[in-house]
Amino acid sequence: MWLTLTEEANQTWFAIELLTLSYPYETVQSKIAKTLSPFANAVKRYSEVTERPIQLLTEKYIEEHPEVAEQNIALLKNAIELWKTATRTSDAIAPLLVHYSWHCFNSFFVYSFFRWEPQHSKSHGIGIELADRLEDMKIQVFKYGLFRRIIDTWTIIGVPLIFSPFLPFFSNDEMHFQHNEMYLCEHSNEISLEALMRFKPVNFEKELHSKRREDLVVCPFLANSIYLPNRFLKNYLLLFVASSIARYRPILWHSILKGKGKFGSEFFVETRDAVLDYVLGKHRGLNLVFQIARILKNIEKETFFLRNRKGDIIKNP
């Protein structure tokens, strides 16, 4: 019951599965490097405000490090295989496999665009404070690790996130990164599970539009430049919690699967929807896999660009 619509969801991978072959992926990787080369100044500005060096994946770097393509292809293959394995197992352990599938897919995404030091993150970048009661659990968001690199990637390509300390705004013909007054971890690196479940990405979008609409960067390569990526990150965290509970608190996870208690039942529904958000979406096609495939397709067709609110293409963000 927790894993639903699995056959239809499996078809989603057709949109991106071709990139598990070397030549197609290397072709796209080369186009990514060319497409993102105008972002060099934006990456530099972002690195300065975050005090964490980030670099573009340039054509020269790709030529000198062919292992990068092999590593990214392996990550995509693992994401697909973990997902397919999850659909063949029981709800008792499926969260572990789904979470690691999503983890690998996020890694494939970010490492296809940028590079950090060290080359690969040494941690998830998130943790959990387990408790005997589901209501008392808290998620920790750290300054380093994969989750922070996911945030870096979305932010640099112009997407505002409530999970990011900095928001991308367009002014003086350039993209700048300013302090995020709505940052979810402004006062602590912890988020209660209850607060995360209450968070509505659409409310963040409305508030941001009411305050800074004219300064926002428009990302035509996404179905929705604010709502969806924020929903994806929220649901990624929820799946991380579900996988941790299934692994370390199996009795509690079984009670959640049985729908015991109001909060446990709500968490069940939220995590089930989170799974679908990864590979299917509540509204067909609006899932993470499709969105990343759409970004890569725009890059392949040379239609990946940013616009300001007037509709002008930003040539050098």
Residue 7: is its pLDDT beyond 60? no
SS3 assignment, position 191: strand
Radius of gyration over every alpha carbon of the chain, rounded to an integer in angstroms:
19
Give how far Cα 81 sits from Cα of 49, 89, 100, 164, Å: 38, 13, 10, 30
Does 313 reside within a domain? no
> How high does pLDDT run on average in the chain?
90
Domain that holds residue 214: 6-303
Averaged pLDDT for residues 38-57? 93
- CB 194, CB 135: distance < 8 Å: yes
Nearest to 302 by CA among 35, 17, 7: 35
Q: Name the β-bridge partners of 178.
A: 167
Residue 154: is its pLDDT beyond 80? yes
- Counting the structural domains of the chain, the total is 1
Confidence of residue 165 (pLDDT cuts 50, 70, 90): very high
Burial class of residue 159 (count of CB atoms within 10 Å of its CB; 0-12, 13-18, 19+): buried
Lowest pLDDT segment from 2-6, 12-16, 252-256: 2-6
Does 244 reside within a domain? yes
Overall pTM surpassing 0.85 (yes/no): yes
Averaged pLDDT for residues 160-180? 92
- Residues with Cβ within 8 Å of 278's Cβ and at least 6 positions away in sequence, in order, are 98, 101, 102, 105, 232, 235, 236, 239, 287, 288, 289
**How many Cα atoms sit within 13 Å of 166 on the Cβ side?**
26
With both helix axes pointing from N to C terminus, report the angle between 288-300 and 227-248 in degrees, rounded to the nearest 10. 130
Q: Name the β-bridge partners of 179.
A: 166
Handedness of CA 279, 285, 290, 295 (dihedral sign): negative
Confidence of residue 9 (pLDDT cuts 50, 70, 90): low
Does 315 reside within a domain? no
Averaged pLDDT for residues 40-54? 94
Does 1 reside within a domain? no
More confident residue, 5 or 67: 67
- Residues with Cβ within 8 Å of 217's Cβ and at least 6 positions away in sequence, in order, are 158, 168, 169, 170, 175, 225, 306, 307, 308, 314, 317
- CB 281, CB 290: distance < 8 Å: yes
Q: What percent of the chain has pLDDT over 90?
A: 71
The continuous run of DSSP H or E covering 169 comes out as: strand 166-171
SS3 assignment, position 192: strand
pLDDT tens, residue by residue, 89-122:
889 999 999 999 999 999 999 999 999 987 788 8
Residue 37: is its pLDDT beyond 70? yes
